[in-house]
Structure 1
Amino acid sequence: MKFIDLFAGLGGFHKALHDLGHECVYASEIDPTLQHIYKENWGLTPFGDIRKIVETDIDSIPPHDILCAGFPCQPFSKAGKQLGRNDTERGTLFEEIVKILEHREPDYFILENVPFIAKHDNEETWKYMESRFEELGYEVDHKNYSPHHFGVPQHRLRIFIVGSRKGLDHFQFSAIDEQTTLLADIKYFIDDKPENYKSLPKVNQMVLKIWQEFLSAIPEETKIPGFPIWGMEFGATYPYEWPYPYKMSAERLGEFKGNFGISLKGMTKKEQLANLPSYARTKKKFPSWKKRWIGYNRQFYKDNRKFIKEAVDQIAQLPHQSWQKLEWNVGDRERNIKNYILQFRASGVRVKNTDFFPSLVCTNTQVPIIGWKNRYITKEEGLKLQSLDGLRKLPEFDNAAFKALGNAVNAKIVKLIAEQLIQEPAQKELNGKEVLPEKERAKQSVA
C-alpha cells in the first residue's frame, strides 16, 4: 500500500512501514536539515510547511492508503505549556491532518503524540479529535505504549491513535499486548567500542565523585532516601510553613539559616533570598509535596550528620544548585553511582537502573550517561533506542542529532501496530464461506 509521512523527522513511520513492504509516496518535514537527512536515508525529499501546502496546493499530496503523522507534541506535553489546540503555531496542525484525511480519504491512519493529549482540557481535546475523525467515516481507537514494553529499554510512553474507514473489527490492541516482553537491559544496546563518543567532562566526573563519597559515608543499615536529596537543606532552618521566607522581614528571617546552614543574619532581604534554595524564593505558599521533602531532607541530615558532614561540605562547594541535588532511583541496589544510567538535570543528578533507560528528549542537556563507561550515549545508540538502527545519516552535531531522536517515533511500536491494522478484513461469501485476505491466501497456497 501507499503511505504518506507527515512531520516526518528521521522517518520512524517510514522505516516501520517500509519494513512491511509499503511505499512512501509523500513526506513533509519543516526542518531543512532533517529534510536533507530524510533524503539521504530514504531517497525522498520531504516537502516543507504542511500548513502552506494544505492551504495552497492540497492536490499535490498524492492519493494514498495510509496517513502517518507524529504531529508536534509540545502543545499537549506536560513539560510544555499545555496549550493544546490553543497553540496557534502548532496546536492547529491537527486540523491540517483532518483536511488531508477529508481530501484524500485514505483507508487508515496512524498518529503518535504524548499521552496527555487524551486528558488535555478535561478530555475535551480528545473528544473533539475523536468526533472529527468519526465525521470523516473513521472508526478510531488509541492506546499508550513505550519501547520498554517491547524489549527496548527506553521508558517513553506515547499515545498511538489508529483509524480505519473499513472499521476496526480486524484490529485489536490486545494482539499487540501479547507481544510485550520483559524489560531489556541497556547493556545489550550499547557499543563496546564506539567510533565516536563524548566523554563525561572532568567537572561532571568530580560531581559524581563527591556524591559517591556521600553514598559511601551512609551506614549500610541506613536506607538511602527514595525522595529527592536536596543538599541545600542540610543545616537549613528557614521556615517553610507559615510565614515562608518571601513573606518575612529581613530582621525576622535573619534569625534562621539558609543553604547548608549559612546564617542569614545581617543580610539584606535580597541577599537572604539568594542564599536560599531556588525553590524557596517563591512568592507563593510552598506546595505540600515540597514541604514534605524539605522536612524529610532535614530529618535525614539530623539523623546522619556525623557520617555525611564531610561529604556535605564538598557538595556545598558545587557551583550549581542542580548539582547539589541527587535523585537515587535504584532503591537498595549497590551503592556505586558508576554502575547506573545517569543524567544531569535541573532537578538534580538522576541515577537510574540499567533496565530503566530515560526517555530521549529533544534537548541535548539531558543526554543520558553510561556510568561505567564514563561517557554519554552515542547517536548510534540513540538510534537503537528508537528502533531506527541502520539509518545511514544523522545530523552532524550532537545537539541536533539528539533533538531529532527526541522527537522521533519508535519504529518498532509503529511496525507492531501497522501489522495488525493494515490488512483487508476477512469477508464472507454469499454462502457464508469465509474469504481470506490476499496475504492469508498466499500463505495457505505456499503451505
Structure 2
Amino acid sequence: MAEQPARFSFVDLFAGIGGFAAVLRGYGGKPVYSVEIDKRAAKVYELNWGHSPLGDITKDANDEVMAVPAHDILAAGFPCQPFSKSGAQRGMDETRGTLFWNILKIIEAHHPTVVLLENVRNLAGPRHFHEWQVVVESLRAQGYRVSETPAVFSPHLLPLEAGGRPHVRERVFITATYDPDDLMGGVDPMPAVENRSLRGGEEWDLEADLPLDPEHEVEGFGLGDDERAWIDAWDEWVRVLRAIHQSEAQRVGEKARRLPGFPVWVDAWVHEDDLLIPEGTPSWKANFLRKNSALYTAHRDAFEEWIERHGVRDFPPSRRKFEWQAQDTATLWECVMQMRPSGIRAKRATHLPALVAITQTSIVGTRERRVSPREAARLQGLPDNFEFGDQPASATYRQLGNGVNVGAVWHVLREHVMRDEAILKTTEAGRRIFSAVVTDSPQSPDDVMESVVRDGQTRASD
C-alpha cells in the first residue's frame, strides 16, 4: 500500500496487538504514540504495524510527566479497576490510582477531538453503575459530549459486507467529541450505536462466513481422548433423551418435547422423594436442583444405564455438568462446544461465543478440533496476512481474547462521527476526521485491512 498523507493523528493506549490501530490506520490515520505493557503483545504489534509500543502508560502520563504528544483521536481498550464509592463529584481525584486516571491526564493535557474507549459489557451493568457514572462525568467535566446511555455492540450484529463476523462479543463503547462551547445546548446525546442486529434477520453460516479452515486436523488443536469420551457420552445422552421424548409424543399424539434448556448436573440427580434442599439455599439454585431431580426421576432407569455405560461418575466434576443450547441440532458433533468450568456447553454452529483470554477455546464439532489461531484472528476481523510470529498458540489466543473486534470498532467510530457531524465540522481537525471516516472510506474494513497490514509489515521490515 503506497504511503498516503495522514488524514488525522491518533494515540493507541493499552494497544494489545493493534485492533484499534487496524481501524484507525484503515481510516487514514497516523499513530503518534502507542503503548502496551505486555512484551509478547508488543512484539506482535511491532511485526504488523512497524514500531514497538512496549512501555508503561503510568510512567508516560502522570502529574509530573506528559510524554504523550498532541493528537486528534484517542483510542483505548482500558482495564477497569474499581473506583471509590464517594461520588462522581470528586472528578479526577476519584480516578487516581486507576489506569483511567492516566487516560484523563492525557485528555486534560491535549483535549483530542474524539475519544474512543472500549471495555467489557459488565462496565455498563448494574454492579458497575458507579464506575460508569465516573467515566461519563469525568469526560463531561473536560468538555466532552458523551452519552450517559451505554453503547453496547457485537460484531455478529453487523452484516458480513460491513465487517461483521459470526462472533457474539458484546462490548461497551464510550465515544466522546470535544465540545467545550456546548454547541448542542446540553442535550444528552443518544449512544453512537444500539445493541440490535443490522442483518435483517439473516442467520450466520459459520462454515462459509468466517470461513472455517477445511482441515479436520490442525496440529496442536485436536481433542484429547478424554475430551472425545466426554463428548461421545453426552452426545449419547442427547440421543437417548430425544428418543424417549419422541416415543412419548407418538404414544399421546403430540409434538415431541425439546431437550431441557437448563444446565443438567449428574451430581444433582436424586429421586424427588430423596431431594433435600438445605435452608438458606438461594432460590436460583433450589430451582436448579428441583429441575434436575424431576428430570432424573422421570428417566432414572435410562439415565443410570447411561451413567454406568460411560462411567460418568468418574468424569471430572465440571464434565458431569452439561448445557444444551443447540435446539434441534442432531448431534454434539454438529455443534460448537466449550469446555467451561461450569460444564460442557453446546450451541448451534451458526456463530461462535466470545473469545476469552483463558482456556475456553471453542470446539467446532464438524472439525473435531478447537478453533485455530487463524480462525480466531478472523473472528476479530484481522486479515490472513496478520502475523503472530513464533509465539505459542496460547499467547495468540490470549491476545485475541483481550483484543477489540475490527468490524465493531470500525462501525462504532463511523456512527459516532456521523452523529456528531455538526460539532466536528466546526473545527479543522473535526473536518479532517469526518472526511476520513465518513466521506472517503468504504463501509467495510475488509476492503482495506490486508493492504493496511501489509503496509505496516513493510515498515517493520525496513
TM-score (norm 2): 0.76
Q: Residue deviations 1:157-212, cap 9 Å, x none?
A: 11011010147979973599685553422212111138655101111001111112
> Structure 1 residue 107: deviation in Å?
0.5
Query: Which letter does structure 2 place at the counterpart of 1:320?
Result: P
Q: Measure the CA separation in 2 of the matches of 1:426 and 1:54.
A: 31
Q: Distance in 2 between matches of 1:197 and 1:187?
A: 21
Q: Deviation at 1:19?
A: 1.0
Partner residue in 2 for 1:148: 156
Summarize deviations over 1:10-65 as a string: whole Å, max 9, x none: 11111111111111111110101111111111002104111121137743211100
- Within 5 A, what are the aligned runs for 1:39-438? 39-55=46-62, 58-73=65-80, 75=81, 83=82, 92-119=98-125, 123-141=129-147, 142-150=150-158, 151-166=164-179, 173=192, 179-180=198-199, 182-188=202-208, 189=210, 190-193=212-215, 196-218=219-241, 219=244, 220=246, 221-235=256-270, 240-242=276-278, 285-313=280-308, 314-331=310-327, 333-363=328-358, 365-390=359-384, 391-393=386-388, 396-422=391-417, 425=421
Moved more, 365-374 or 120-129: 120-129
Contact 1:340 1:370 in 2 (8 A): yes
Secondary structure (helix, strand or coil) at the match of 1:341 reads strand
Note the residue ranges of structure 1 that are not aligned, 5 or more in a row. Answer: 76-82, 244-284, 430-434
Q: Which residue of structure 2 aligns with residue 263 of structure 1?
A: none
Counterpart in the other structure of 1:255:
none
Read off the aligned partner of 2:133 and give its amino acid letter. K
Most deviating of 90-99 and 373-382? 90-99
Secondary structure of the 1:372 match is coil
Counterpart residue type for residue 229 of structure 1 = V
Identity of aligned residues (%): 29
**CA displacement at 1:420 relative to structure 2:** 3.4
d(CA) in 2 for partners of 1:349 and 1:406? 20
> Residue deviations 1:330-352, cap 9 Å, x none?
12x13311000001111111001
- Structure 2: distance between partners of 1:386 and 1:135: 34
Q: TM-score, normalised by structure 1?
A: 0.78
Say if 1:102 and 1:309 are closer, same or farther in 2 by CA, change over 3 A. same
In structure 2, C-alpha distance between the alignment counterparts of 1:61 and 1:104, rounded to whole Å? 9
Paired position in structure 1 for 2:45 = 38
- What is the aligned length? 386
Quote the Cα distance in structure 1 between the aligned partners of 2:437 and 2:405. Answer: 27
Cα contact 1:37–1:395 (8 A) shared by 2: no
Contact map agreement 1:370 1:377 (CA 8 A) in 2: yes
Q: Deviations over 1:368-412 (max 9, x none)?
A: 000111100011111111112231226721221111111101111
Structure with larger Rg? 1
Q: Of 2, 10, 33, which aligns to 1:3?
A: 10
Q: Which stretch has the larger CA shift, 42-51 or 119-128?
A: 119-128
Distance 1:383 1:26 in 2: 24
> Structure 1 residues 222 and 120, CA, compared in 2 at 3 Å: closer, same or farther?
closer
Tell me if structure 1 keeps the 8 A contact 2:36–2:55.
yes
Deviations 1:241-265 (A, max 9, x none): 345xxxxxxxxxxxxxxxxxxxxxx
- Higher relative CO (Cα under 8 Å, sequence separation at least 6) belongs to 2
TM-aligned CA distance change 1:185 to 1:89, over 3 Å: farther
Q: CA deviation at 1:223?
A: 3.1
Query: What is the CA RMSD across the aligned residues, in angstroms?
Result: 3.2
Structure 2 unaligned segments of length 5 or more: list them: 1-7, 86-93, 159-163, 247-255, 426-430, 441-462
User: C-alpha distance in 2, partners of 1:143/1:441?
Assistant: 19
Q: Distance in 2 between matches of 1:441 and 1:161?
A: 19
Q: Contact 2:116 / 2:176 at 8 angstroms: preserved in 1?
A: yes
Deviation string, structure 1 residues 301-328 (Cα, Å, up to 9, x no partner):
1111233321122253433011111100
Single out whichever of 155-164 and 309-318 deviates more from structure 2: 309-318
Maintained 8 Å contact 1:13/1:414 = yes
- Contact 2:13 2:75 survives alignment (8 Å): yes
For 2:38 and 2:46, the matched residues in 1 are separated by 12
Question: How big is each residue's C-alpha offset from its partner over 1:60-106, in whole Å with a ceiling of 9 and x where there is no partner?
Answer: 21110000000025x4xxxxxxx4568x9997111111110001111
Give the 3 Å change call, closer, same or farther, for CA 198–145 of structure 1 in structure 2. same
Q: Distance in 2 between matches of 1:208 and 1:428?
A: 55
1:247-293 C-alpha deviation (Å, 9 max, x unpaired): xxxxxxxxxxxxxxxxxxxxxxxxxxxxxxxxxxxxxx321111111
Please say if residues 169 and 355 of structure 2, whose CA atoms lie closer than 8 Å, have aligned partners that are also in contact. Answer: yes
